[in-house]
Amino acid sequence: MLPQPHETSAIRIALESVGCRCTQQRVAVLGHLVQADGHPTADDVFQAVKLLIPSISLATVYKSLETLVTAGLATRLQGDTGLVPARYEVRGHGHHHLRCLKTGRVDDVPMNFDPELIAKLDPEIESRLRHQGFKLTGYRLELLGYYEQADSREVEPS
């Protein structure tokens, strides 16, 4: 039902591999997440997927996103305040986030997940990881600041 059947099958495989039922709604939601290079909100996903499945509801998009996040296929990036919607992205090879405080735009920066590097950041962190039994499964690094040139767009893509 999606325009790109070959991508669709990769998505179906991903869903099946984590034990999810392959509904067209989930395929479409995950498909949009894969194809979107920005960080769409639930409503962004809803608007996009509605073009493929006009009958889909926003609640279903939320449920699908939650399913994907729980299954480890997607990640939720929370908004800054409670009224700012959360944003979602496919969980591929991780990356850091560069958040522009002027425009709200969020950029990805490819990340090498290296616990050793993180441990070296600070002796205190090293102590937690080595001596206090904290097992590190991942980390989120968000860099806050702003672009000095004016070429940062007002709104992030997608």
Partner DNA sequence: CTGTCTGCAAAACTTTTGCAAGAGA
Partner DNA sequence: TCTCTTGCAAAAGTTTTGCAGACAG
Residues interacting with DNA, by CB under 7 A?
Answer: 16, 20-26, 41-43, 53, 55-60, 62-64, 66-67, 79, 81-86
With CB cut-offs between 5 and 8 Å by kind, which of a second copy, DNA, none does residue 51 bind?
none
Question: What, of a second copy, DNA, none, does residue 37 touch, CB below 5 to 8 Å by kind?
Answer: none
What's the rounded Cα separation, in Å, for the pair 74 and 64? 10
Distance spanning both ends of the chain, measured CA to CA: 22
- Of DNA, a second copy, none, which one sits near residue 8, judging by CB under 5 to 8 A according to partner kind? none
Instruction: Establish if 153 lies at the interface with a second copy (CB under 8 A).
Output: no
Tell whether residue 149 is a contact of a second copy (CB under 8 A): yes
Angstrom distance (rounded) from CA 31 to CA 15: 11
Interface mask toward a second copy for 103-142; x: CB under 8 A: ----x-xxxx----xx--xx-xx--x---xxxxxxxxxxx
Contact between 72 and a second copy per CB under 8 A: no
* Angle at alpha carbon of residue 120, lines to 117 and 123, rounded to 5°: 155
Query: Is residue 157 close enough to count as binding a second copy by CB under 8 A?
Result: no
Of DNA, a second copy, none, which one does residue 132 interact with (CB within 5 to 8 Å by kind)? a second copy
Question: Cα 93–26–155 angle (5° rounding)?
Answer: 60
Distance between CA 109 and CA 107 in Å, rounded? 7
Tokens 């979602």 sit at which residue? 88
83 or 155: whose CB is closer to a second copy? 83
Find the angle CA(133)-CA(135)-CA(139) to the nearest 5 degrees.
135
- In the complex with a second copy, the residue whose CB is nearer, 8 or 64, is 64
Do 97 and 77 form a contact (C-beta atoms < 8 A)?
yes
* Cβ 41 to DNA shortest distance, Å: 6
